[in-house]
Structure 1
Amino acid sequence: MTSSPSAPGGNSAASTAALTLLLAINLLNYIDRQVLYAIFPLLKAELHLSDTALGFLGSAFMLCYMVSAPLLGWIGDRWQRTRLCSFGVAVWSAATALAGIAGTYHGLLAARTVVGIGEASFGTVSPGLLADYFPKERRGRILALFFLAIPVGSALGYLLGGIIGQTWGWHASFLIVGTPGLLLAIPVWLLRDPPRTIGDQNSAVSPTRRYADLLGNRSFINGTLAMAAMTFALGGLAQWLPSFLNRIHGLSVAKGNTLFGAITVITGIAGTLSGGWLGDRLQQRSGKGYLLVSGWGFLLGTPFAAIAILAPSLPLCLTAIALAEFFLFLNTGPLNTVIVNVSPSAIRSMAFAVNIFFIHALGDAISPTIIGWLSDRWGLQNSLMVAPLAILVAAAFSFLSCRTVERDSALAEQQ
């Protein structure tokens, strides 16, 4: 495979600047996504909503996110990726701010749906764009840094949403967190799009054929299913744990979100960076290294997730949440790196679009509503127990991918 000339060893100023800017945007991505869940109790009280209706606010965003991803991924393989990223940032930031002036449930639902379009524009192209700035042997650590935005941005979303919402109301939460993205849309528009690394420059295989080949790529399919199961669990927990702490353990909206956010920041950073480092180290010894880190992380995190839900005391609950999050975040860099490595570079944006579609269609597009529906019937604590079961499924698919990942990575390099 030819290396991108823009990434000589991954140490150029352009590579570092791209990583810094895309990481900052990804932080806003998760802040704007998670702020909704921090203010669930406020929305429920003011708009008189059922748990099913609350859960559908999250599901509607994800449905739009996943449905628009394939088209946006197809565009990303043909258009300048930095421009598509810029468009996405501007759209989701404006929609987040507009949610702050919504006066009804349906207005809020419409705004959150548009957020999905903007975030899909960024999410389908940004991992592949960043991968083309750095050499293959460093991708695990680089993508782990990029995906630090998940725990840090999510935690900031909970923290800002809870504090701002309790102080000035839920409208202010959306208005304040939505505005900064409009400013970052400008520098990403000006960012240089590096050349896409393609193994065989004279290949006669059409992009359409390569898209079809994804369906026969067993590592891609199993890796995507592992991420879908993980997303089902983590999406449901992310949306409902603040409400769980409020209802089951009696914490205020601000205190519950502050504690949950602080735990997520600390364990998320530690778990994500550890997973990226471990994945790169094990990958040097075995082509299955990234998947082994992910699979064992899921297995070790499952019992702690169950203890967190069933714990009779708040200290035990918070301790279990911290341990569960650490082990679950180990997979973030490794699994995304597997998707990059087994996907031909010429269709990498589309590969991530397909990945996004299925992980959300089978994951957090449905889990918040399912948990909300079960909560209306069995109570929130009982309904959350579907999450540890889903994490076990993620572990099984990670280990299953070990059987084919070396072959599929080699084939992707040749295309």
Structure 2
Amino acid sequence: MVSSVTAVPMHSARHRSPKSRVFPWLVFALTFALLLSDYMSRQVLSAVFPVLKAEWALTDANLASLSSAVALMVGILAVPLSLVADRWGRVRSLVLMVVIWSAATLMCALATSFHQMLLARFIVGVGEAAYGSVGIAVVLSIFAPRVHAALSGAFIAGGSFGSMVGVALGGLIAVHLGWRWAFAAMAIFGLILVTLFRALVSEAKIARHAVGAGPVDSECRVPSGGIRAPISSLFTSSGVVCAYIGSGLQIFCCAVLFAWLPSYFNRYHHLAADKAGAAAAMFVLLSGSGLIICGIITDRVGRSEASRKWDTAIVYCAISLVCLSVGFRLGTGVVSLVLIGCGAFFCAGSSGPIAAMVANLTHRSVHASAMGTLTLANNLLGLALGPLVVGMLADHIGLLKALQLAPVTYLAAIGVLLIGRRRYPDSARRLAALTESMAGTNR
């Protein structure tokens, strides 16, 4: 089948241009849907926190460890598995990942103790480890850089939307059918989606639709079997290192909201598990919407000057810092909820701009590995650390006070991003020099 496609004359390829315009959006839709499944399987746990806490007599630290187990494995394995995917094939890697995390989510449904659940959650993390990095690398490879911040924000927003659906639907299913069916439903959804993805997307189709836009990106494209940038190039520029660290720090508070908002509404607003999950889902929806809108704003602001994307990332962090810090200190009234909602809208808004900066500052041939490194930082500094730290604090000072302290991490994120913005021009020159050197070697 592949040989027959490669043998088609050029005029026939041009005749298929409508397909070329549709296919990238089909890939985006399917990878986005699988990211929904990823986070539905991950965050459904938060919806059943109150049920598990009562049934198995767990502490908040125990609950947090079940949440952080996934993020910990993602952080540890994101880079090595992304490297494997760059070489073994990104599409086939994605398929295997989904099968693993869906099977492990079924194991969660069958768990009869805290330790069995913890083991299953570690395996969920193994499956999900490199999905975000490899998935976004696939998407960015078939779209022009001028829309990368918006696409990155929209793709990453799949995590928020998936969390929203997982929390809301998980709480509803847990109340009416039991918490085990909440996990089972997420697993079945993932298996159906991956079957569809495998039928419609292949490595050959992705290669045919790969695009390069701009002088640097077009040179960065390396043919199959050609020269790849060294892995060390992922860390040799200070700008991209600051992007990794800043991203992880800014996602800390977002992870806290995803994990603990259902419990916050259950304990302080006295809502049942299903209603608490639905209320938390609305705030998670705000976060996902913020990711998309912040990405679109960033692309517009940074159209003429790429360094302005750093500025937007810093502004989003500052807004969320103020809104969440004040919101959690104003009790449980309407003003408090409005401020928390505003903070949730901007809490991960920096993710799209930062992902675009990472793509701009690393060679195209190692983009999946670069996104894997970004995923590592996001998970170790944010998604794993955030819920765990707040859970441990909650056991000693209460959940509300722990939530009041969480936004402080934005101060560190802002500081690191300011340094990254200052070092951006030098980092861009380093990439240009690497690209020119590789082009010379390839000739």
TM-score by length of 1: 0.92
Label 1:82 to 1:53 Cα distance change in 2 as closer, same or farther (>3 A): same
- Which sits farther off after the overlay, 42-51 or 227-236? 227-236
Alignment of 1:160-239 (within 5 A): 160-190=169-199, 191-193=201-203, 194-195=206-207, 199=219, 207=228, 210-239=230-259
Partner of 2:168: 159
Partner of 2:9: none
Task: Report how far residue 397 of structure 1 moved.
Answer: 1.9
Partner of 1:353: 372
1:74, 1:24 → 2: CA distance? 23
CA deviation profile, 1:31-68 (whole Å, cap 9, x unmatched): 11111111111110001001111111112111111112
2:121 to 92, 95, 112: 112
2:407 to 377, 385, 388: 388
Partner of 1:50: 59
Q: Answer yes or no: is the 8 Å Cα contact 1:140–1:333 preserved in 2.
A: yes
Task: Report how far residue 202 of structure 1 moved.
Answer: 8.6
Partner of 1:21: 30
SS of 1:403's equivalent? helix
Q: Which has more helix, going by share of residues?
A: 2
2:347 to 323, 328, 335: 328
CA deviation profile, 1:155-192 (whole Å, cap 9, x unmatched): 11110111111222211110111111112222333413
Q: Answer yes or no: is the 8 Å Cα contact 1:9–1:135 preserved in 2.
A: no
Q: Could you list the structure 1 runs, at least 4 aligned residues long, displaced by more than 3 angstroms after superposition.
A: 8-11, 195-198, 200-203, 409-413
Task: Report how far residue 15 of structure 1 moved.
Answer: 0.6
Q: Answer yes or no: is the 8 Å Cα contact 2:102–2:188 preserved in 1.
A: yes
Alignment of 1:52-131 (within 5 A): 52-131=61-140
Q: Answer yes or no: is the 8 Å Cα contact 1:95–1:111 preserved in 2.
A: yes
2:424, 2:20 → 1: CA distance? 28
Long gaps (5+) in structure 2: 1-12, 213-217, 439-443
1:293 to 293, 309, 312: 312
2:20, 2:421 → 1: CA distance? 31
Q: Answer yes or no: is the 8 Å Cα contact 1:275–1:329 preserved in 2.
A: no
Task: Report how far residue 10 of structure 1 moved.
Answer: 11
Task: Report how far residue 269 of structure 1 moved.
Answer: 4.4
1:345, 1:53 → 2: CA distance? 41
Label 1:57 to 1:145 Cα distance change in 2 as closer, same or farther (>3 A): same
Task: Report how far residue 201 of structure 1 moved.
Answer: 6.8
Establish whether residue 408 from structure 1 lines up as the match of residue 427 from structure 2: yes
1:137 to 139, 146, 151: 146
Amino acid at match of 1:294: A
Partner of 1:278: 297
CA deviation profile, 1:260-293 (whole Å, cap 9, x unmatched): 212322x234422221211111111222122211
SS of 1:147's equivalent? helix
- Alpha-carbon RMSD across the aligned residues, in angstroms, is 2.5
SS of 1:362's equivalent? helix
1:372, 1:202 → 2: CA distance? 46
SS of 2:384's equivalent? coil
1:263, 1:10 → 2: CA distance? 37
2:65, 2:161 → 1: CA distance? 24
Equivalenced residue count is 409
1:410, 1:256 → 2: CA distance? 50
2:383 to 348, 364, 368: 364
Task: Report how far residue 115 of structure 1 moved.
Answer: 0.7
Task: Report how far residue 122 of structure 1 moved.
Answer: 1.5
Task: Report how far residue 112 of structure 1 moved.
Answer: 0.9
Task: Report how far residue 149 of structure 1 moved.
Answer: 0.8
Amino acid at match of 2:111: A
2:41, 2:324 → 1: CA distance? 25
SS of 2:150's equivalent? helix
2:197, 2:427 → 1: CA distance? 32
- Which sits farther off after the overlay, 141-150 or 77-86? 141-150
SS of 2:110's equivalent? coil
TM-score by length of 2: 0.86
Q: Answer yes or no: is the 8 Å Cα contact 1:10–1:133 preserved in 2.
A: no
Q: Answer yes or no: is the 8 Å Cα contact 2:265–2:276 preserved in 1.
A: yes
2:363, 2:293 → 1: CA distance? 27
Amino acid at match of 1:362: L
Q: Answer yes or no: is the 8 Å Cα contact 1:249–1:314 preserved in 2.
A: no
Label 1:10 to 1:50 Cα distance change in 2 as closer, same or farther (>3 A): farther
SS of 2:219's equivalent? coil
1:389, 1:328 → 2: CA distance? 12
Q: Answer yes or no: is the 8 Å Cα contact 1:237–1:387 preserved in 2.
A: no
1:272, 1:86 → 2: CA distance? 26
Task: Report how far residue 364 of structure 1 moved.
Answer: 2.4
Label 1:137 to 1:411 Cα distance change in 2 as closer, same or farther (>3 A): farther
1:67, 1:236 → 2: CA distance? 20
Task: Report how far residue 295 of structure 1 moved.
Answer: 0.7
- Which sits farther off after the overlay, 325-334 or 336-345? 325-334
Partner of 1:251: 271
Q: Answer yes or no: is the 8 Å Cα contact 2:237–2:430 preserved in 1.
A: no
Amino acid at match of 1:368: P
**Identity within the alignment, %:** 25
Label 1:10 to 1:245 Cα distance change in 2 as closer, same or farther (>3 A): farther
CA deviation profile, 1:247-271 (whole Å, cap 9, x unmatched): 1222221112111212322x23442
1:217, 1:10 → 2: CA distance? 39
Amino acid at match of 1:322: G
Amino acid at match of 1:160: L
Establish whether residue 340 from structure 1 lines up as the match of residue 349 from structure 2: no
1:169, 1:316 → 2: CA distance? 35
CA deviation profile, 1:90-115 (whole Å, cap 9, x unmatched): 11111112211111111111111111
Task: Report how far residue 220 of structure 1 moved.
Answer: 1.3
Amino acid at match of 2:378: I
Q: Answer yes or no: is the 8 Å Cα contact 1:162–1:253 preserved in 2.
A: yes
2:18, 2:300 → 1: CA distance? 17
